[in-house]
Amino acid sequence: MSLNKVLLGIIGHNRANKICEIILIFVLHFYILLFQALLGFLGLESKFWSGVEYFSANMIYYYSIKMKKFLRGFSISAGIYASYLAFPQESKALGFVDLPYPSKVMKWDCILSPTQIVDDRLCIRDGYPPLKNPPHWQRSEFIWWEWDPPVNDITSISFEFSFNPSRFTPIVDSAGFLCSFTSSGNCPVELPGVGTQLLTATTTPPITGPANGTQSIIVGSSSVNVNATFSSPITAESDELFFAMAFEPLFEIPDNAHVIYSQELLPDADYSVTSYTCTTLDNQNSCGSDNYTVSGKVIVVPEPTSTLSLLSLGIVGVGATLKRKVKRKVKRSHSIEKEPTNVG
């Protein structure tokens, strides 16, 4: 008995058998993916097996649905498979696939200032050693923006983001690469920003350098475009930064300023990703981060002590008002009692 007759006997064309058709498709996909995983573990996986999945699903589709729909689905799968075979051995992890963006963190920079009378309390709070004599620690005028893609065998990166020019001014000469991506910069260790976090100072200010290969960094009026092709594949360690750039805030940032690191586009964001692509040698790699950031914004969170003090002052004020009203009522009642009564 041919395969065609077997499949026709199993699923047929009756609409009542659609549940059986779906189950069969899922089972077939499961075994194909299991076989691919086995080949990958043995190092024998090839492009052919990645294309089998497209065609096998459409063969099931052919025997369960009408011919017109099959031809449409078959042509789409054939196009996908042909484009896959046409790709070079290197593969692109695009911004809309898997983990789409790098992580990001914002940090103050503290510097030694001979004119500073005492150490800046934010610098001491965030790990700088207290100094008895000048020069003392002082917050610089800049905030460092740093990015991290935890991935192996990176051959190129293309990255573009926008910034709010009414709130931040880019320091053009500060832009550059870090850690394994350059041979002349340093390698600060910073955890990625997640959720809403306090804006703190870094104890290891970034020293950026040119990429190990070719690079293009274009700073516009409200956006920055970064392109780099590395001379040899780069393996980045976990939480290893790859790029940094300093920005000067155009507004006063208090000690209790926080940063919102959002995985969605915030309204009036200070920072947002426009595009991000990364090329690796292994198509299983992803150049995004588990803690990726799509947009970010600096905000001021009211201190709890200030809120409590305002609340206590309000309670005291209400109490004083009630007390005055009670006193007035008492005085009024006393005056009524003391009034003489005219007897006719």
Q: Residue 109 is part of a domain; what is its CATH number?
A: 2.60.40
pLDDT above 50 (res 134): yes
- For residues 156 and 272, state if they share a domain: yes
Predicted pLDDT at 154: 87
- For residues 145 and 224, state if they share a domain: yes
Query: Taking the complete model, does pTM exceed 0.75, yes or no?
Result: no
- For residues 114 and 83, state if they share a domain: no
**Percent of the chain clearing pLDDT 90 (strictly above):** 41
Q: Specify if 315 maps to a domain.
A: no
Q: How confident is the model at residue 3 (pLDDT cuts 50, 70, 90)?
A: very low
pLDDT above 60 (res 58): no
Q: Work out how many domains the chain is built from and give that number.
A: 2
Only one residue has tokens 């620690």, namely: 137
- For residues 150 and 285, state if they share a domain: yes
Q: Specify if 337 maps to a domain.
A: no
Predicted pLDDT at 291: 85
Q: Specify if 306 maps to a domain.
A: no
- For residues 18 and 155, state if they share a domain: no
Predicted pLDDT at 266: 95
Joined together, the tokens standing for residue 59 give 């063969």
CA-CA distance, 138 to 175, in Å (whole number)? 22
- For residues 295 and 167, state if they share a domain: yes
What does the pLDDT look like over 202-257, one tens digit per residue? 999 999 999 999 999 999 999 999 999 999 998 876 668 999 999 999 999 888 89
Which has more confidence, 301 or 259? 259
Q: Specify if 227 maps to a domain.
A: yes
Predicted pLDDT at 33: 57
- For residues 243 and 204, state if they share a domain: yes
- For residues 71 and 112, state if they share a domain: no
- For residues 28 and 108, state if they share a domain: no
Q: Specify if 234 maps to a domain.
A: yes
- For residues 38 and 71, state if they share a domain: yes
**Percent of the chain clearing pLDDT 70 (strictly above):** 56
The whole domain housing 48 covers: 3-87
pLDDT above 80 (res 187): yes
Last residue of a domain, one of 277, 300, 323: 300
Q: Cα 160 from chain centroid? A: 14
When mean pLDDT is compared across 6-20, 54-68, 192-206, the lowest value belongs to 54-68
Last residue of a domain, one of 87, 113, 146: 87
- For residues 58 and 114, state if they share a domain: no
Contact 277, 199 (CB under 8 A): no
Q: Specify if 260 maps to a domain.
A: yes
- For residues 35 and 154, state if they share a domain: no
Mean pLDDT of the chain: 74
Q: Specify if 113 maps to a domain.
A: yes
Q: Specify if 317 maps to a domain.
A: no
Predicted pLDDT at 47: 39
